[in-house]
Amino acid sequence: MYHLGLLSEYLKNYMKTRLTYRADFWVEVLSDLLFQATNLIFIFVIFMHTNSLAGWSQDEVVFVYGFFMVPWGVFACFVNMWNFSERYIVKGEMDRILTRPAHNLFQIFLENVDPPSLIGSLIGLLIMAVSGLNLGLPFEWWTIPALILLTISAAAIYMGIYTTLTALSFFSDAPTGIIPLMYNIQSYGRYPVTIYNRVIQVLLTWILPFAFVGVYPAGLFLQREEMTRMALLTPVMGAIFVSIGLFVWSRGVRKYKGAGS
Amino acid sequence: MAAIDVHDLRKTFKVQKNRGGLKGAFVDLFKREYNEVTAVKDISFQIPEGEICGYIGENGAGKSTTIKMLTGILVPTSGRLTVGGYVPYEEREKFVRNIGVVFGQRSQLWWDIGVIESFELLRKVYRVEEADYKKRLDELVERLELQELLNRPVRKLSLGQRMRCELVAALLHNPSIVFLDEPTIGLDIVVKSEIRSFLKDMNREHGTTILLTTHDLQDIEALCSRVIMLDDGSIIYDGGLDELKQRWGTGREVVFQFGTATKLNRLELLTEGMPVKWTAENNLGATVWIPLEMNVSDVLGRVVGQADITDIKIIETNTDDIVRSIYQSGSANKAEEANLALPREGAGHV
Amino acid sequence: MFNALSDAGSPQGGQDAGTEGQEFRRTERRLLLEAYFDFIRIRFLTMLAYRLNYYTGILIYSLNIGVNYFTWKAIYGQGESLGGFTAAQMTTYVAVSWMARAFYFNNLDREISTDIRDGSIAIQFIRPYNYVLAKMMQGLGEGMFRFLLFMIPGMALAMLLFPVHLPHDPAAWAGFLVMLFFSFLINSQINIITGLLAFFVENNEGLMRMKRVVVDLFSGLIIPISLFPGWLSSILKLLPFQAITYLPGSVFTGRVQGVGIWNVFGIQIIWFAVLLIPLFWLYRAARQRLFVQGG
C-alpha cells in the first residue's frame, strides 16, 4: 500500500515536470515509435525474399513482434536504469537514495518512471490483433488473463536481467557498462529460436532468457505446440530472474563506495 | 544511552593499481592488482543525546566516509556502530526514518517542480501524518522565512534559499539525529548566521542530536560544545573547542588600516613587552599576530588612540589552520599528541 | 579572441612574423599535434582499463555474428542467391560488417550531448585545441582499441565457427582497410552532428536513439542495401549511411572489384566532404550560442 501510494506520488511529480517540457514528450514518443517501425521493416524486408522462416510465416513473426512490444513497454515504463551508473554512482545520488526510508531500488525505479513507453505496448497489442486476425487465431476465455500474466512475467525477466547488469556497476569501475550491448541481443528473442544452433538457443533460453520475452510466450497464442511448455515456464523464469536481480543488487549496494571523498 | 556509539570503526577501500604505460595497461587487462586504502582507521567515540558535535579535519581525512557509515550509506569494513539504537546499514529503511541528512553540495529536492511539491512527496516517503506534517511545516517555514519560496521551482532559488529549503526537507519528519555535511558551504554571512541560530534553537527545543562537518570555525564556535578532529583516518582530538584552540590555535591576526603613514618600528614600540609580531605591507597597513593566551583587547588598547586608525579587522583561525598547525608542530610534539589521543577511549567526551 | 583560443594552431597565433615567431609557431604546432595524438593514446588506455566491458564486448560481438549468421541461413533456406549475395558471400558480409562496426562505432554523440547538458563544454571550447577534432581523436583511440583487441581476435573466432571466406585479392584488402577508415570518419561525423544538436533541442535523447537505429538499419549492417525493395534501396543509395557499412563490405566480399572499388571509394569521399558542411556550420553556431548568448 505504502509503495503504491509512493508510485502515484511520483507519477504526479512526473506529470508536473513533464508539463514544463512538453516538446520533449512528443519527440520521445515519436522516436520510440520510429525505433519500433525500423524493426518491423526488417521483418517485412526478410519476407520479401522468403515465404517462411524455419516454418514461421510473416504474420506469425509479426505477431511475435507485437507481443514482444507489450512487456517491453511495461518494463520501460517502470524500469529505467540506462544512466544509473552515471547519475547515481558517479554523481553520488545513491547517497540520497540510501538515506530515505523506502527500498532503494524501488526509489530508483520511481524516480525514472517513463509512462510514454506504454504507448509502445498499445501499438504492440494492435499489431497482435491485426496479425492475429490475419492468421485466424481463436480468441479464448483465457487469452486476456494469459496475456496479462505473460506480460508481467516477461517484464519481470527484463527487470531481473537489467537489474543484475546494472548492479554490476557497483562492482566494476566501468562508467558506461555493458547494457547498450544488450539491446541487440534482446531483439533476438523475437525470432523463432529454432533457427539458431544449440549454443545460442541455450543462451537465449536459460542464460539471457530473451526468448521468454518474445517467441515462447507468443507461441502459446499462435498454438505452436512445441513452445507451449516453454510459454508456461515464463512466470517461473520471471520469478527466478527477479530473485537473481534483487540478490545481486543488494550485494552491490553493500559494496557501494560512494562518490568523491 | 548514547545517540551515536562507535567502536573501532574501520573502512577500507580497494583501489585498483594501474601499471604505467601501454604495456602495463595490457597486463592490467588480464591480471589486476589492488591497493588497500584505509579511509577510517579504527575510530571510537560516543555522542550523547542532545549534543551538537563538530566533526572536523582536512579534505580526505575521512570525515565524509565516517558520516556515510553513520547514515547507513556505506557498510563498514569492521567495528561496531549504533546510531539511534540501530545498526545503520542493517535495517537501513527503518533506521533512516529517525535521522535527517543534509549534504551541502547535493540537493534533496526535485529540480523542476515547486519546493512544496518536494516536501509533499517527502511527507509520503517518510510516512508523516498529515496533521503532524502541517504543524511541522508551518513551524519550519515561519522560522526560516520560506513563505515566498514555496511555489518556486528549485532551479530558480539562490544558494541560500535552496539551503534553507534543504534543511526543511531533511527535518520534516522531525528526526532525533541530524547529520550535516558542510551545511554552510558557499553561503553568505547573513544566511550562515541564520542557519546557525536555527540549528541552535532546534537543538534546544527538540533535543536534537547534531553531528556536523565544516571548515568554518565560526560554525563550530556558534554551535558545538564538542569537537572531534580527524586526520588521516584517525581521531587526533576529541574534546572542547577552547582547549583545542589553546593547544593548537596559532593565534589571531588583527589587520589595521591607517589614515596617515605609520612606521613599523613605531608600532612595535607601542606593544613593547608583548609576545606579538608585526608585519607591514606599506606605511598605511599593518598586521599584528597575537597568541591565543593574550587578549586582543589588550593589544588594541595600546594601539588605538596612539595611531590614526581607519579600519580594524580581526581574523580568527579556521579549523584548517588549526589542523595545519598540528601537522607542522613537528615530531617534538608528537608525544604530547599521542598522550592527548589516548584518554578519548574511556572518557568518550571531555 | 575566442577564435584564436579554440582554433589554436591557426595562423592567427602570432602576428609578429620573423624567424623567432615562426620557430615558436612550429613548436606550438608540434605540441598541438602531440596533444591530439595524446587524445588517441589516452582513450586507448582508458578502454583497456575497463576489462569487464572488454570481455563481454567480445562475447556479445561474436554472438551478434552468430545470430545473424543463423538468421540468414534460415532466410536462405534452399535459395541460392538473394539480392546478388550468395549464401557464402552473405556469411562473410555479416561477419565483416559486424567486425567493421567494432571499429567505426563510438558514442561521441552521447559524450558531446552530456558535455553540453552539464555545461562542461564551455570549458572545453576555450581550451587551446579544437573540440570537434579532439572528440574525433578520442573516437579514433576507441576504434583502434577495438580494431586490435576486438576485431582481430573476433574475426579469428568467427572464421573458426562459421564459413567465412576472406578475399585473396590484395586490392580488396587495401580497399577495405582504407574504406574502413572512412567509415569511421563518416560515422563519427554523423555522431558529432547528432551530439551538437543538443545545443538546439532541449532533449536530444530520442534523436540519438533514432540515429543509432537508422545507422544500423540503413547502413546495411542488418540487411544489405540490395535486399531492400527497389524504391527504398534507391533512396538509401542517396543517403550517407550506406558508405558506413555496405560499401566497404561489398568491396571485401568481392562483389565490387577493380575499377568499381574506386567508384565506391569516391562515394565515401564525397560523403565525407559533404558532411563537413553541416558539421562546421553547427560547430560555429554552437560556439556563437555559447559565447554570445551565454549558453
Q: What is the pLDDT of residues A149-205, one digit of tens each?
A: 999 999 999 999 999 989 988 887 654 556 767 777 888 888 899 889 899 999 999
Q: CB–CB of A53/A61 below 8 Å?
A: yes
On average, the pLDDT of chain C sits at 83
pLDDT at A173 (0 to 100): 63
Please tell me if residue A225 touches chain C, with a CB cutoff of 8 Å: no
pLDDT at C140 (0 to 100): 94
The C-alpha atoms of residue B124 and residue A98 are separated, in whole angstroms, by 16
| Weakest mean pLDDT among B29-43, B179-193, B273-287, C42-56 | C42-56
Query: In chain B, where does the domain assigned CATH 3.40.50.300 lie?
Result: 2-245
C-alpha cell belonging to residue C248: 566497404
Hey, are the CB atoms on B29 and C51 less than 8 Å from each other? yes
Is residue C79 included in any domain, yes or no?
A: yes
Chain A residues 157-216 with CB within 8 Å of chain B: 173
Hey, are the CB atoms on B28 and C49 less than 8 Å from each other? yes
Interface test with C, best of B29, B31, B33 (most C CBs within 10 A): B29
Is residue A55 included in any domain, yes or no?
A: yes
**Chain A residue closest in CA terms to C114:** A86
Half-sphere exposure of A48 (CA within 13 A, CB side): 15
Task: Indicate the pairing of strand B52-56 with strand B209-213.
Answer: parallel
In the 8-state DSSP scheme, what is residue B153? B
Q: What angle do CA B145, B150, B153 make, to 5 degrees?
A: 130
Is residue C124 included in any domain, yes or no?
A: yes
> Dihedral of the CA atoms A164, A167, A173, A178 (nearest 10)?
40
The residues with which B5 forms a beta bridge, in sequence order, are B46, B82
- The set of residues, in sequence order, having a beta carbon less than 8 Å from that of A250 and lying 6+ positions away, is none
| Weakest mean pLDDT among B14-18, B287-291, C98-102 | B14-18
The C-alpha atoms of residue C185 and residue A174 are separated, in whole angstroms, by 26
The residues with which B56 forms a beta bridge, in sequence order, are B229
Segment A101-114 shows an average pLDDT of 92
- Name the residue range of residue A151's domain: 2-255
Tell me which amino acid residue B170 is. Answer: A
pLDDT band at A63 (very low <50, low <70, confident <90, very high): very high
Is residue A243 included in any domain, yes or no?
A: yes
The C-alpha atoms of residue B174 and residue B137 are separated, in whole angstroms, by 10
pLDDT at C7 (0 to 100): 33
Please tell me if residue C57 touches chain A, with a CB cutoff of 8 Å: yes
Is residue A7 included in any domain, yes or no?
A: yes
Is residue C4 included in any domain, yes or no?
A: no
Q: Which among B245-249, B286-290, C23-27, C131-135 has the top mean pLDDT?
A: C131-135
Which is the CATH superfamily of the domain at B2-245? P-loop containing nucleotide triphosphate hydrolases (3.40.50.300)
* ipTM surpasses 0.90: no
Query: C70 pLDDT exceeds 50?
Result: yes
pLDDT at A157 (0 to 100): 97
In the 8-state DSSP scheme, what is residue A103? -
pLDDT at B317 (0 to 100): 67
E strands, chain B, where?
2-17, 33-48, 52-56, 78-83, 99-103, 177-181, 209-213, 226-231, 234-239, 252-258, 277-282, 285-290, 309-315
Tell me which amino acid residue A103 is. Answer: H
| Overall size of chain A counted in residues | 261
- The set of residues, in sequence order, having a beta carbon less than 8 Å from that of B319 and lying 6+ positions away, is B56, B57, B214, B215, B216, B217, B220, B229
Hey, are the CB atoms on C79 and A49 less than 8 Å from each other? yes
On average, the pLDDT of chain B sits at 84
If one compares B309 and C12, the residue with the highest pLDDT of the two is: B309
**Chain C residue closest in CA terms to B21:** C45
Nearest to C45 among B22, B30, B32 (CB): B22
Segment A230-236 shows an average pLDDT of 96
Phi, psi dihedral angles at B224 (to 5 degrees): -95, 135
pLDDT at C292 (0 to 100): 61
Query: A39 pLDDT exceeds 90?
Result: no
pLDDT at C22 (0 to 100): 77
CA distance B152 to chain C (A): 21
Hey, are the CB atoms on B32 and C51 less than 8 Å from each other? yes
pLDDT at B328 (0 to 100): 61
pLDDT at A243 (0 to 100): 98
The C-alpha atoms of residue A261 and residue C104 are separated, in whole angstroms, by 37
Query: B346 pLDDT exceeds 60?
Result: no
Segment C56-65 shows an average pLDDT of 81
Cβ burial A236-260 (10 Å sphere, 16+ → b, else e): ebbebbbeebbebbeebbeebbbee
Q: Which residue carries 552532428 as its cell?
A: C193
pLDDT at B95 (0 to 100): 94
- Chain B CB contacts of A18 under 8 Å are none
CA distance C251 to chain B (A): 33
**Chain A residue closest in CA terms to C227:** A45
Please tell me if residue B232 touches chain C, with a CB cutoff of 8 Å: no
Locate all alpha helices (DSSP H) within chain A, ordered by sequence.
Answer: 2-20, 22-49, 58-78, 84, 93-98, 104-111, 118-135, 143-171, 179-187, 198-202, 215-221, 225-255
Tens digit of each residue's pLDDT (9 = 90 or more) over C130-179: 899 999 999 999 999 888 888 888 888 888 888 888 888 888 888 899 99
The residue among C230, C133, C235 whose CA lies nearest residue C185 is C133
The C-alpha atoms of residue A18 and residue A26 are separated, in whole angstroms, by 11
Assign residue B70 a region (left: φ > 0; alpha: ψ between -120 and 50; beta: otherwise).
alpha
The residue among B35, B48, B36, B39 whose CA lies nearest residue B79 is B39
Task: Indicate the pairing of strand B99-103 with strand B177-181.
Answer: parallel
Segment C279-295 shows an average pLDDT of 78
The SS3 assignment for B7 reads strand
Query: C181 pLDDT exceeds 60?
Result: yes
Tens digit of each residue's pLDDT (9 = 90 or more) over B202-256: 999 999 999 999 888 788 888 998 999 888 899 988 988 877 777 766 677 888 8
Q: Which helix (H) or strand (E) holds B138?
A: helix B130-144
Please tell me if residue C48 touches chain B, with a CB cutoff of 8 Å: yes
**Chain B residue closest in CA terms to C41:** B22
Hey, are the CB atoms on B32 and C45 less than 8 Å from each other? no
For residue A89, what are the CA distances in angstroms to A97, A181, B18, C58, C119? 11, 20, 21, 26, 19
Q: Which helix (H) or strand (E) holds C86?
A: strand C85-86
The C-alpha atoms of residue A29 and residue A17 are separated, in whole angstroms, by 16
Tens digit of each residue's pLDDT (9 = 90 or more) over B138-183: 999 998 989 988 998 888 888 889 999 999 999 999 999 999 998 8
- Name the residue range of residue C223's domain: 17-289
pLDDT band at C37 (very low <50, low <70, confident <90, very high): confident
The C-alpha atoms of residue B204 and residue B198 are separated, in whole angstroms, by 10
The SS3 assignment for B86 reads strand
C-alpha cell belonging to residue B114: 515547486
The residue among A12, A244, A250, A248 whose CA lies nearest residue A110 is A12
The C-alpha atoms of residue C91 and residue C81 are separated, in whole angstroms, by 12
Q: CB–CB of C109/C194 below 8 Å?
A: yes
C-alpha cell belonging to residue A179: 547494457
Q: CB–CB of C249/C84 below 8 Å?
A: no
Segment B192-199 shows an average pLDDT of 92
Count of the separate structural domains present in chain A: 1
The C-alpha atoms of residue C118 and residue A90 are separated, in whole angstroms, by 13
- Chain C CB contacts of B20 under 8 Å are none
Q: What angle do CA A192, A197, A198 make, to 5 degrees?
A: 105
pTM, two decimal places: 0.80
If one compares C16 and B193, the residue with the highest pLDDT of the two is: B193
Q: CB–CB of B48/B3 below 8 Å?
A: yes
Chain C residues 167-186 with CB within 8 Å of chain B: none
Hey, are the CB atoms on A102 and B125 less than 8 Å from each other? yes
- Chain C CB contacts of A32 under 8 Å are 206, 209
B297: burial class by Cβ within 10 Å (0-12, 13-18, 19+)?
Answer: exposed
The SS3 assignment for A181 reads helix
pLDDT at C19 (0 to 100): 64
Is residue A260 included in any domain, yes or no?
A: no
| pLDDT over 90, % of chain A | 55
pLDDT band at A231 (very low <50, low <70, confident <90, very high): very high
pLDDT band at C271 (very low <50, low <70, confident <90, very high): very high
The C-alpha atoms of residue C67 and residue C73 are separated, in whole angstroms, by 10
Q: Establish, for the pair of chains A and B, how many residue pairs have beta carbons separated by less than 8 Å.
A: 74
Is residue C160 included in any domain, yes or no?
A: yes
Task: Indicate the pairing of strand B277-282 with strand B285-290.
Answer: antiparallel
Q: CB–CB of B274/B294 below 8 Å?
A: yes
Count of the separate structural domains present in chain C: 1
The C-alpha atoms of residue B319 and residue B58 are separated, in whole angstroms, by 8
The residues with which B290 forms a beta bridge, in sequence order, are B252
If one compares C31 and A150, the residue with the highest pLDDT of the two is: A150
- Chain A CB contacts of B125 under 8 Å are 6, 100-102
Please tell me if residue B190 touches chain C, with a CB cutoff of 8 Å: no
- Chain A CB contacts of C66 under 8 Å are 196-197, 199-200
Please tell me if residue A41 touches chain C, with a CB cutoff of 8 Å: yes
The C-alpha atoms of residue B211 and residue B219 are separated, in whole angstroms, by 12
- Chain A CB contacts of B59 under 8 Å are 261
For the domain covering B250-350, report its CATH number. Answer: 3.30.70
If one compares A238 and C49, the residue with the highest pLDDT of the two is: A238
Hey, are the CB atoms on A13 and B73 less than 8 Å from each other? no
Assign residue A196 a region (left: φ > 0; alpha: ψ between -120 and 50; beta: otherwise).
beta
Q: CB–CB of C157/C62 below 8 Å?
A: yes
